[in-house]
Structure 1
Amino acid sequence: MDPTLTRIGEAVRLGHSGDREGARRVFTEIWAEIGGTRGDPLHRCTLAHSMADVQDDVRQELLWDERALAAAWLLTDARMAEAGLALSAAALAPSLHLNLAECHRKLGDLDRAREHLREAEATIGALGDDEYGQLIRQGLQQIADRLR
């Protein structure tokens, strides 16, 4: 497994255990090590997607989610496979757009939230009919319900 992805996973576990500040600290260290917005798109996307989840301010969450999406567009299936990931690069888009839709909804920008919801729905075909795909589909339905 990719050592940077392993470290990102360890920081994710810190956040899940309730140490959001510790997770942010580790993510910040890794972000600097990988070169920030100039780093490997897989590392940037994974880290930013995870960093967004441990933010206390929705504007910071949005910033990190936007960084994740920008990096995702640069990913290839070959890079995903090289890192040992079974997911296609395209399969990241629905989740990233889902997160962006929720951020915009929280900020009261319902037009942008709906725009990202549409983008997520347009890319949902990249997901399999597995646990991950079902989780994202449920999330999309929840956001759609909240936006009604």
Structure 2
Amino acid sequence: MARGQERAAPDAVPTRIGQVVMLHHAGDREEARQRYLGLWTELGEHGDPLHRCTLAHYLADTQDDPADELAWDLRALSAAEELREDGSPGHRGARAARALYPALHLNLAADYDRLGHREAARLHLRRARRAADALGDDDHTAGVRAAIGRLERRLDGPR
């Protein structure tokens, strides 16, 4: 393979992630996981934080073990934190991170709940709620808010 082809071209990464998302949603979870992992290897630990955040966020959903899912969701949050630390308020990454925080914290809350760590789940659920409240009223945010409400009810219910 030619040297320039070894790594994903930055503009192609979101398209490639989207293609794997469609594969995953079509039901081929194992193939999606392998393709996501291939992209992760191409990006490397110092790749674009927005790409790493997005990829880790989706990769978490392909894991069989809840602890592995948590590890990928934590990687996604860590990459989002890098975007937030960028410092320039108009930077695409900072805006994207702000939009991703509700879902990232919601996923972490669900992970911790599945692992039996209810206090950690509640902490991330509170963070998800605060992050969602800072966003507008679009369909995605409404869906995240509804999922936050469902998880809140489950955490508050009997175990």
Rg larger for: 2
Name whichever of 99-108 and 114-123 sits farther off. 114-123
Q: Does 1:46 align with 2:54?
A: yes
* Equivalent pair of 1:94/1:121 in contact (CA under 8 Å): yes
Q: Does 1:79 align with 2:109?
A: no
Shift of 1:54: 1.2
TM-score scaled by length of structure 2: 0.84
**What is the aligned counterpart of 2:29 among 15, 20, 45?**
20
Partner of 1:114: 122
Partner of 2:6: none
* Equivalent pair of 2:50/2:96 in contact (CA under 8 Å): no
Name whichever of 71-80 and 13-22 sits farther off. 71-80
Partner of 2:39: 30
Partner of 1:2: 11
Task: Work out the CA distance in 1 between the residues paired with 2:134 and 2:20.
Answer: 27
**What is the aligned counterpart of 2:131 among 123, 143, 147?**
123
- Secondary structure at the counterpart of residue 103 of structure 1: helix
RMSD: 1.7
**What is the aligned counterpart of 1:94 among 86, 89, 102?**
102
Of structures 1 and 2, the one scoring higher in RCO (CA 8 A, sep 6+) is: 1
Aligned residues: 142
Task: Work out the CA distance in 2 between the residues paired with 1:2 and 1:19.
Answer: 25
> Unaligned stretches of 5+ in structure 2?
1-9, 85-89
TM-score scaled by length of structure 1: 0.90
More helix by share: 1
Shift of 1:121: 1.5
Shift of 1:12: 0.9
Shift of 1:125: 2.6
Shift of 1:79: 3.1
- Code of the aligned partner of 2:151: I
- Secondary structure at the counterpart of residue 56 of structure 1: coil
Quick one: percent identity of the two aligned structures?
Answer: 50
- 1:95-127 CA distances to partner (integer Å, 9 max, x unpaired)? 100000000001110010001011111212332
* Equivalent pair of 1:91/1:126 in contact (CA under 8 Å): no
